[in-house]
Chains A and B, each alone.
Chain A
Amino acid sequence: MTDTATSDSMVSAEPLHRSQFRATWRAHRWQKARVSLTGVLVLVALIIFSARLGEVDLAHLWDRLPRLTSYFGRMVPNLAWETLWVDLAKWYWNGGKWLASLWQTVLIAVYATLFGAALAYIFSFLAARNLTPAPWIGIAARRTLEFARTVPELVFAVLFVFAFGIGPLAGVLAIALHSFGALGKLFGDVAENANLDEVKGVRSTGANWWQTMVYGATPQVLPDYLSYGLLRFEINVRAASVLGFVGAGGIGQDLYGAIKSFHHTDISAIALMLIAAVIAIDSLCSWLRGRVIGQEGLRAL
């Protein structure tokens, strides 16, 4: 009421609130600019400082570059067109064993993702601030997840190889534990955005906490959980291939063996298989994710 009255009577004059706000706005902008500028300066200083500290020497890097290329050169196998099949067979002389290792790597990733995601599913509801049964449980769950995702897979793997011996079990446990932390955080964020009306509807019937999560929250979050789970699987295939370096099973163990014993063409043979497998799995997963999201996307229209 009063607003229209004022603007009617002072058509030409600039309303006071506008000029006032403009001043506030300028101050706000200036404040933000100062913060960003300070941030950039600190960052540049930190980069220079850490380069010194880490003895990063660009000249040295340049000097040693030829070594890297000659190393790659030695990895190229001898392939002639006339004897292609024989040469290929020679290059992949241990192909059966490597294929089995590759399969083991994929299985490590599958099991690790399944275990990690199952545990993350439960913890996401404990950790979500709006769904947790009690605030202290929420805090405990979030700290647990933080720990699990802060410690790198490699560290877990070294520990588990030490505890359970060399082999895929250590790899599964290490990746599962890290995935649990990473997925638990992502799942928890999804759960925090769940529609509480639907949850309340189930809770009001006398369902206990877990039932309320299963029937009230899960249907809402499931598509996002699946999508994140598939994404994690792609990451875990890569992690599983590296963990063999510390004895946690899979193709990485063969790759590490080849590097250690200077079997250069074996390195390239294994690496190529690995790259092909990773690309295939990534494409499969993104196709699946597209289907999971696509269906929901259509529903939303």
Chain B
Amino acid sequence: MSHPLSSMNTADATLNLRGVSRSFGNAKALDGITLSVRDGEMVAVLGRSGAGKSTLLNLINRLIDPTEGEIWCGERNVSQLRGRALLDWRRESAMIFQRFNLVSRLNVITNVLTGRLAHAPRLPKLIGRFTDHDRDVAIDALEALGMAEFALRRADELSGGQQQRVAIARALVQQPRIILADEPVASLDPVNSRAVMEALRHINQHRGITVLCNLHSVPLAREYCERAVALAKGKLVYDGPVSGLDDATLAVIYGSTDALAEAH
């Protein structure tokens, strides 16, 4: 039997964005993004505030729909998925958020268990019944992140760093192929930031899960990722190794030296 938390899919899972755009009213948040992410990569997504980083991740998870273009995962046209298939895709592309987005009045273990809502059997989960197996998987994930002892605490009683680790556990129990992390360390102090980035790297290397990570900090990108893509005003302005992020490139990404200093 495979590891309960490892990705259970073996088919090709290359993520392909083909000319993806998204408008809000008249404003184009994303403009013709074409991007390919291979299975098992860990990619940093850079760009200044409002560049479209969150929009990109929300599109991939299909929390929002593209106005143009297509998103593919292997042989699947993700942008066309409906109903059950769409919910399955959301399960496969787990999200982590800057403000953790845990349900504050639920305890830690129930928050993690919400990552099992898209797994069978689904009917009992409509009224709050999870299986023993679900609970095993959830407590394993919490243990892996050093959070098992907090299982019965209310989510809003934890520190930011602890909440983010719970959020990662929730993502893990979804058994995703991809983790989409939207500025996962932007609300954390340096020590907690490292812990969270280490956890993401560990998941990427040991479980083979692809990680797309929006980051504000270029040094963090350099340290934890091999590849970076960068957005500016909704357009893809860089796609290459982090070593290619020289001053000239960063000036293009961040527009001005002020914003550049902020990113360092």
Query: Chain A residues in contact with chain B, CB under 8 A?
Result: 195, 197-198, 200-208, 210-211, 214-216, 219-220, 222
Instruction: State the CA gap A207–B110 with chains docked (Å).
Output: 14
| Cβ < 8 Å to A, chain B residues 235-262 | none
Chain B, residue nearest A200 (CB): B101
CB neighbours of B91 from chain A (8 A):
205-206
The answer to the question of B202 belonging to the interface, with a C-beta cut-off of 8 Å to chain A, is no
A206 lies within 8 A of B88 (CB)? yes
A210 lies within 8 A of B126 (CB)? yes
B104 lies within 8 A of A206 (CB)? no
The answer to the question of B18 belonging to the interface, with a C-beta cut-off of 8 Å to chain A, is no
CB neighbours of A197 from chain B (8 A):
97, 99, 101
Min C-beta distance of B123 to chain A, whole Å: 11
CB neighbours of A207 from chain B (8 A):
87, 114, 117-118
Instruction: State the CA gap A214–B114 with chains docked (Å).
Output: 10
Min C-beta distance of A275 to chain B, whole Å: 39
B90 lies within 8 A of A205 (CB)? yes
Query: Chain B residues in contact with chain A, CB under 8 A?
Result: 61, 63, 87-92, 94-95, 97, 99-106, 110, 114-115, 117-118, 122, 125-128, 167, 170, 174
Q: Quick one: given A197-B99, A200-B101, A219-B105, are A205 and B115 in contact (CB under 8 Å)?
A: yes
Chain B, residue nearest A205 (CB): B115
A220 lies within 8 A of B90 (CB)? no
Instruction: State the CA gap A211–B126 with chains docked (Å).
Output: 6
Residue with the highest number of chain B CB atoms closer than 10 Å, among A198, A203, A206, A220 = A206
A204 lies within 8 A of B117 (CB)? no
Chain B, residue nearest A196 (CB): B101
Min C-beta distance of B91 to chain A, whole Å: 3
CB neighbours of B128 from chain A (8 A):
214
Chain A, residue nearest B170 (CB): A205
B126 lies within 8 A of A214 (CB)? yes
CB neighbours of A211 from chain B (8 A):
117, 122, 125-126
B102 lies within 8 A of A201 (CB)? yes
Chain B, residue nearest A212 (CB): B117
Instruction: State the CA gap A100–B122 with chains docked (Å).
Output: 45
CB neighbours of B104 from chain A (8 A):
195, 198, 219-220
A205 lies within 8 A of B94 (CB)? yes
CB neighbours of A215 from chain B (8 A):
103, 106, 110, 114, 117
B125 lies within 8 A of A206 (CB)? no
CB neighbours of A220 from chain B (8 A):
103-105
Min C-beta distance of A205 to chain B, whole Å: 5
Chain A, residue nearest B106 (CB): A219
A206 lies within 8 A of B118 (CB)? yes
Q: Which of A204, A216, A219, A222 contacts B95 (CB 8 A)?
A: A204
Instruction: State the CA gap A250–B54 with chains docked (Å).
Output: 59
Q: Which of A205, A210, A222 contacts B114 (CB 8 A)?
A: A205
A198 lies within 8 A of B114 (CB)? no
Instruction: State the CA gap A95–B87 with chains docked (Å).
Output: 61
Residue with the highest number of chain B CB atoms closer than 10 Å, among A201, A202, A204, A216 = A204
Residue with the highest number of chain A CB atoms closer than 10 Å, among B97, B110, B114 = B114
CB neighbours of A195 from chain B (8 A):
104
Not counting A202-B114, A206-B92, A207-B117, a sample of 15 additional A-B residue pairs whose C-beta atoms are within 8 angstroms of each other reads A195-B104, A201-B100, A201-B114, A202-B103, A203-B90, A204-B63, A204-B95, A205-B95, A206-B91, A210-B126, A214-B126, A215-B110, A219-B103, A219-B106, A220-B105
CB neighbours of B167 from chain A (8 A):
201
Chain A, residue nearest B116 (CB): A205
B118 lies within 8 A of A198 (CB)? no
CB neighbours of A214 from chain B (8 A):
126-128
Q: Which of A204, A210, A216 contacts B103 (CB 8 A)?
A: A216
A206 lies within 8 A of B103 (CB)? no
B103 lies within 8 A of A205 (CB)? no
B101 lies within 8 A of A208 (CB)? no
Instruction: State the CA gap A215–B104 with chains docked (Å).
Output: 11
The 9 closest A-B pairs by CB, nearest first: A201-B101, A206-B118, A206-B91, A206-B90, A207-B117, A219-B105, A204-B95, A206-B87, A197-B101
CB neighbours of A202 from chain B (8 A):
103, 114, 117
**25 A-B interface contacts by CB (under 8 A):** A195-B104, A200-B63, A200-B97, A201-B100, A201-B103, A201-B167, A202-B117, A204-B61, A204-B63, A204-B101, A205-B95, A205-B117, A205-B174, A206-B87, A206-B91, A206-B92, A208-B117, A208-B118, A208-B122, A211-B117, A211-B126, A214-B126, A214-B128, A219-B104, A219-B106
Instruction: State the CA gap A206–B95 with chains docked (Å).
Output: 10
Min C-beta distance of B93 to chain A, whole Å: 8
CB neighbours of A204 from chain B (8 A):
61, 63, 90, 94-95, 101
Instruction: State the CA gap A216–B170 with chains docked (Å).
Output: 13
Instruction: State the CA gap A220–B101 with chains docked (Å).
Output: 13
Min C-beta distance of A46 to chain B, whole Å: 43
Instruction: State the CA gap A88–B116 with chains docked (Å).
Output: 65
CB neighbours of B103 from chain A (8 A):
198, 201-202, 215-216, 219-220
B102 lies within 8 A of A206 (CB)? no
